[in-house]
Amino acid sequence: MVPITYYLLLAAALFCMGMFGVLVRTNALVVFMCVELMLNAVNLTFLAFARMHGNGLGHVSAFFVIAVAAAEAAIGLAIVIAVFRSRGTVNVDDIRTMKH
């Protein structure tokens, strides 16, 4: 049997890679994809702990996370389209109207 620790380490690595992508990428679409990576890392943690305790509750949580991720992707991409219509760019560094 594979120790649960390995799965948790894999999830931690995946989460950190997603976080790195969110911090350094400038294309809003790629930033969204990195957020999806982080959500998947969380799902993996839920499932690993469900297996560790032999409890199906983690599967229900993962199901809800996937549903919320779908809603997040729909809204986020709609916002990206709206911003691209009005500004003509999806570069997160160029979209700074609300910054100052």
Partner 1 sequence: MNIELVLFGVFAVMTLLSAGLVITARSPINSAMALVSTFFFLAGIYVLLWAHTVAVIQVLVYAGAIMVLFLFVIMLLNLGDAPHRGKPTVTRLLGGASAAGLLAVLAVTLGRMDAQPARLDAQGQATFGTLAAIGQSIFTTWLLPFEAVSLLLLVAMVGAVVVAKSRI
The residues binding partner 1 (CB under 8 A) are 1-10, 12-21, 23-27, 29-30, 32-34, 36-37, 40, 43-44, 47-48, 50-54, 56-57, 59-60, 62-64, 66-75, 77-82, 84-85, 90-91, 93
Cβ distance 11 to 41 under 8 Å? Answer: yes
Beta bridge partners, 27, equal 91
The smaller minimum CB distance to partner 1, of residues 35 and 100, is found at: 35
Q: How far is the CB of 42 from partner 1 (least distance, A)?
A: 12
Q: How far is the CB of 92 from partner 1 (least distance, A)?
A: 9
Q: How far is the CB of 15 from partner 1 (least distance, A)?
A: 8
Gap between the Cα atoms of 38 and 33, Å rounded: 9
Q: What is the DSSP string of 62-99?
A: HHHHHHHHHHHHHHHHHHHHHHHHHHS--BTTT--TTT
